[in-house]
Chains A and B, each alone.
Chain A
Amino acid sequence: MIDSVRHIIIVDSRTLHLLLCAVGCKKTHFRDFLLWLCGFDPHHNITRLTFPRTAHVWILLKPYPQEFNKGGVIMSIAATEKQRLADLAKELRLNIVDVMTYSGGAHIGGSLSIVEILIMLYFRCLNIRPQEPDWEDRDRLILSKGHAAAGLIPALAMRGYFPLEQLKTFNHFGSPFAMHPDSRKVIGCDASTGSLGHGLPMAVGLGLGARTLKKSFKTVCIMGDGECCEGSVWEAAMALAHFKLTNVITVVDRNRLMIDGGTEEVMALEPFAEKWRSFGFEVLEVNGHDLDQLADAFDRAWSAHDRPVLILANTVKGRGVDFMEGNVKWHYASADSSLAQKARESIGRQEGGI
């Protein structure tokens, strides 16, 4: 009751969050547990925290921000870890440029835009065993935007599914590697994709399958933003919400470009985040090249328990190579050896992380 209140403390929820981090709760699960224990609900503005000895203290919490790409510090990953991931990202970019030269042409723009996402998944989040690629309880990754195989395949090689050397056969006769990933040929690839709009429905099936078989593996589905024109994507979105499939994590690579132009010129997707929210998703909008934000978002997604999560990653097509960035024509291209070298140099100059 108000009259019994002695102190009112207004605390920014982010600060509270940071306080908890500072106290050493780096593990998101434990952090979330503590917050839950205190009755913290991110969807309400006011939460009463009750502590047994100071029962008359009310704490007003400001709402948990949905968008945290507006700056602020998220200390989700340690500095050394972050550096490791940043280096891997650089390495993957270089490998992608190599693939473009081996194959004689690749979907370079869309592959470069998901590099941080792929690194985050393959080197931090996914529970996988490269020595046991068919392990039943592995986390699954469906690259619904299958044309980014030029990014996926080198990532798999780097993670240890097969030797990097093999990439030299890319697109060649009899090679397992081509423009779109073939799950029957590429070790570590969970779904044959390429025709847009197919990945999310398959993820629905995997989510339902995991639940039916009482397994706890997660399925991550990476889609392109243009891909979301396909009706089947929204059929799957409805189903994910209807079946409350929180074991499926959807990622959209929002690089804002398609083939014939920008997404908003060709077939407008905005208000994009709102659409997903109205379909029953929790939308986490991040800078798709910021490792901290990505880590935080994936951590939240991993521990989601009442609504499926969409990670809306704002990215730049062709990220890492200055002459490709944001340029629609680099959706699919090839480069001669000197231009490829310029690309490599551009990548070398990039800062790790942001």
Chain B
Amino acid sequence: MAAVTGTTWTCYDSSTMTSREIYGRTLAELGKTNDRIVGLSADLAKTTAIVHFADAFPDRFFNFGIAEQNMFGAAAGLAKAGLIPFASTMAIFACLRGGEQIRTDICYQNLPVKIIATHAGISFGHAGTTHHCTEDLAVMRSFANMTVIAPADGIETSKAVRACLDIEGPVYIRIGRGFEPPCYENENYDFIPGKAVEMHAGTDLTIICCGIAVLQSVQAAKTLLEQDGLSVRVLNMHTIKPIDKEAVLKAVQDTRRILTIEEHNVVGGLGDAVGSVIAESGKGCVFRKHGIQDEFSLIGYAEDLYAHYGLDANGIISHVRRMMGMEFEADENWEDD
């Protein structure tokens, strides 16, 4: 008897499958008490999880179809009318297709538009490079008035969305496709834009990371402590702009070795932001940036790409060991229970 293999699911199921991407529900909650919040989409409401807000407040949600430039222009207009627009689309389309509108209509006029850019980095691996975005941190950092946040997981995204409302001007939040495993247990920790979160204490080396790299770095740090006796500090630098200079400088002072990890080109992103802080401080330290090495990614599932580009725990462990000058060890008990 042949088994039925394969699994049926459609893109309409994605909003139930990505249960850990809770920002849509958070936004719907916020919409109850704040009637100035409106939601915008460019035909990607279900994919970007803003559908939860759309379902709760159909009169305050506008779908512009596949027209990102119009969407961001309209977001500016809605902000001018006195509302707080949350506009969501895929990172590549937000940052480059609607880029001029974000810069000229939104940042230049310093309007309170909050941009939720999904599928950032190589998280949409198998969709190919047209749907990847390893440039958005570099581009958004260069816009004056913009706050740039890369949350580590669904919980942090939810907290970032709440924090958005207290930031006067435009905000760019970049997240994955919603299948990222959770990093935090719950929302009971302080999320302050511009302040890094210490996820793991350490004194030998500091990993400064954002996005999916945070969970992987924490796991790597735990393994390194157990196996190599290395004490690795992990800083979740969720806000790339304005960057937490204090935390960076303290890390330089305390550990003298800095490794940055990001799901982004090594050019222009978190690595360069941290590097500038270090260089301007005049203090010497061992500094390595890790991310996508200024190339367009291969095709594959995101998790495989992370493994390939060394953005997963194993990859991070080997980077750290290289920085400390050590070799890779195996851990093997292959008996079944």
Do B70 and A232 touch across chains, with their CB atoms under 8 A apart?
yes
Do A192 and B72 touch across chains, with their CB atoms under 8 A apart?
no
Do B105 and A202 touch across chains, with their CB atoms under 8 A apart?
yes
Do B67 and A202 touch across chains, with their CB atoms under 8 A apart?
no
B222 interface hit (Cβ, 8 Å)? no
Most chain B CB within 10 A, of A140, A192, A205, A212, is at: A205
B301 interface hit (Cβ, 8 Å)? no
CA distance A136 to B36 in the complex (A): 14
Q: Which residues of chain A are within 8 angstroms of B64 by Cβ–Cβ distance? A: 235, 239
Do A239 and B109 touch across chains, with their CB atoms under 8 A apart?
no
Which of B65, B76, B108 is in CB contact (< 8 Å) with A202?
A: B76
Do A200 and B80 touch across chains, with their CB atoms under 8 A apart?
no
Q: Shortest CB–CB separation between residue A4 and chain B, in angstroms? A: 49
B199 interface hit (Cβ, 8 Å)? no
CA distance A212 to B61 in the complex (A): 10
Q: Which residues of chain A are within 8 angstroms of B38 by Cβ–Cβ distance? A: 208-209, 212
Do B75 and A205 touch across chains, with their CB atoms under 8 A apart?
yes
Shortest Cβ distance from B105 into A: residue: A198
Which of A194, A195, A201 is in CB contact (< 8 Å) with B77?
A: A201
A-B contact pairs, 18 of them (CB 8 A): A191-B76, A191-B109, A192-B104, A192-B105, A194-B104, A201-B69, A201-B70, A201-B76, A202-B73, A205-B73, A205-B77, A206-B78, A208-B38, A209-B81, A210-B81, A212-B78, A239-B74, A243-B62
A238 interface hit (Cβ, 8 Å)? yes
- Tell whether A213 pairs with B67 under 8 Å between CB atoms, given A205-B75, A236-B73: no
Shortest Cβ distance from B60 into A: residue: A212
Do A201 and B104 touch across chains, with their CB atoms under 8 A apart?
no
Do B62 and A192 touch across chains, with their CB atoms under 8 A apart?
no
Do A208 and B104 touch across chains, with their CB atoms under 8 A apart?
no
Q: How many residues of B contact A (CB 8 A)?
A: 30
Q: Shortest CB–CB separation between residue A210 and chain B, in angstroms? A: 6
Do A209 and B101 touch across chains, with their CB atoms under 8 A apart?
no
CA distance A322 to B206 in the complex (A): 72
Shortest Cβ distance from B38 into A: residue: A212
A91 interface hit (Cβ, 8 Å)? no
Most chain B CB within 10 A, of A194, A201, A212, A243, is at: A201
A226 interface hit (Cβ, 8 Å)? no
CA distance A195 to B79 in the complex (A): 19
Those of A42-56 within 8 Å (CB) of chain B: none
Q: Which residues of chain B are within 8 angstroms of A191 by Cβ–Cβ distance? A: 76, 80, 105, 109
A204 interface hit (Cβ, 8 Å)? yes
B82 interface hit (Cβ, 8 Å)? yes
A183 interface hit (Cβ, 8 Å)? yes
Chain B contact residues, CB within 8 Å of chain A? 38, 59-60, 62, 64-65, 67, 69-83, 85, 100-101, 104-105, 108-110
Q: Which residues of chain A are within 8 angstroms of B105 by Cβ–Cβ distance? A: 191-192, 198, 201-202
Q: Shortest CB–CB separation between residue A256 and chain B, in angstroms? A: 26
- Tell whether A201 pairs with B74 under 8 Å between CB atoms, given A192-B104, A192-B109, A235-B64: yes
Shortest Cβ distance from A194 into B: residue: B104
Q: Which residues of chain A are within 8 angstroms of B62 by Cβ–Cβ distance? A: 208, 243
Q: Which residues of chain B are within 8 angstroms of A201 by Cβ–Cβ distance? A: 69-74, 76-77, 101, 105
Q: Which residues of chain A are within 8 angstroms of B82 by Cβ–Cβ distance? A: 136, 209, 213
Shortest Cβ distance from A237 into B: residue: B70
A154 interface hit (Cβ, 8 Å)? no
Nearest first, the 10 A-B pairs at minimum CB distance are A205-B77, A201-B73, A209-B81, A235-B70, A205-B74, A235-B67, A202-B77, A232-B69, A205-B78, A206-B77
Most chain A CB within 10 A, of B62, B64, B70, B105, is at: B70
CA distance A81 to B155 in the complex (A): 63
Do A238 and B77 touch across chains, with their CB atoms under 8 A apart?
no
Q: Which residues of chain B are within 8 angstroms of A190 by Cβ–Cβ distance? A: 80
Do A238 and B65 touch across chains, with their CB atoms under 8 A apart?
yes
Which of A136, A195, A209, A219 is in CB contact (< 8 Å) with B100?
A: A195
Do A213 and B109 touch across chains, with their CB atoms under 8 A apart?
no
Q: Shortest CB–CB separation between residue A247 and chain B, in angstroms? A: 11
Q: Shortest CB–CB separation between residue A65 and chain B, in angstroms? A: 33
CA distance A236 to B60 in the complex (A): 18
Do B104 and A202 touch across chains, with their CB atoms under 8 A apart?
no
- Tell whether A209 pairs with B69 under 8 Å between CB atoms, given A195-B100, A201-B101, A202-B74: no
Do A204 and B80 touch across chains, with their CB atoms under 8 A apart?
no
Do B67 and A209 touch across chains, with their CB atoms under 8 A apart?
no
Do B67 and A184 touch across chains, with their CB atoms under 8 A apart?
no
Q: Shortest CB–CB separation between residue B67 and chain A, in angstroms? A: 4
CA distance A191 to B105 in the complex (A): 8
Q: Which residues of chain B are within 8 angstroms of A242 by Cβ–Cβ distance? A: 65
A207 interface hit (Cβ, 8 Å)? yes
CA distance A212 to B74 in the complex (A): 13
A72 interface hit (Cβ, 8 Å)? no
Q: Which residues of chain A are within 8 angstroms of B74 by Cβ–Cβ distance? A: 201-202, 204-205, 208, 236, 239
Do A205 and B76 touch across chains, with their CB atoms under 8 A apart?
yes
Do B108 and A192 touch across chains, with their CB atoms under 8 A apart?
yes
Which of B65, B71, B83, B104 is in CB contact (< 8 Å) with A209?
A: B83
A203 interface hit (Cβ, 8 Å)? yes
CA distance A219 to B74 in the complex (A): 13
